[in-house]
């Protein structure tokens, strides 16, 4: 028989996350870049659709 025992220590209770910090508003430059990127993506999609319609197999 062992002459001593180990005490089980439970892990610390999980705390609720601290108050969430408010997100910083995005900078003006970032917003402008996002707008340009979105417009460019739209244009490429429209161009792809147009090329697909042009390449329909002739019957």
pTM for the full predicted model: 0.43
Is residue 39 in some structural domain?
A: yes
Distances (CA, A) of 26 to 10, 30, 32, 33, 38: 43, 6, 10, 11, 16
| pLDDT category of residue 2 using cuts at 50, 70 and 90 | low
Residue 50 lies in a domain: yes
Look up tokens 């999609």; give the residue: 45
Number of domains in the chain: 1
Q: For residue 43, tell me if it sits in a domain.
A: yes
What per-residue confidence (pLDDT) applies to 19?
Answer: 66
DSSP 1-59: --S--PPP-PPPPPPPPPPPPPPPPPPHHHHHHHHHHHHHHHHHHHHHHHHHHHTPPP-
**What is the pLDDT, as a whole number, of residue 59?**
54
Residues 6-57 have pLDDT tens digits of 788 888 887 777 667 677 777 899 999 999 999 999 999 888 888 877 666 6
Instruction: Look up the domain containing 41 and give its range.
Output: 29-54
Task: Specify if 33 maps to a domain.
Answer: yes
Of the two residues 50 and 59, the one the predictor is more confident about is 50
């Amino acid at each position: 028989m062992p002459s001593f025992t180990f005490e089980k220590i439970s892990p610390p209770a999980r705390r609720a996350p601290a108050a969430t910090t408010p997100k910083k508003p995005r900078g003006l430059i970032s917003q402008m870049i996002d707008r340009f990127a979105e417009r460019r993506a739209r244009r490429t999609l429209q161009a792809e659709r147009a090329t697909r319609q042009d390449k329909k197999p002739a019957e």
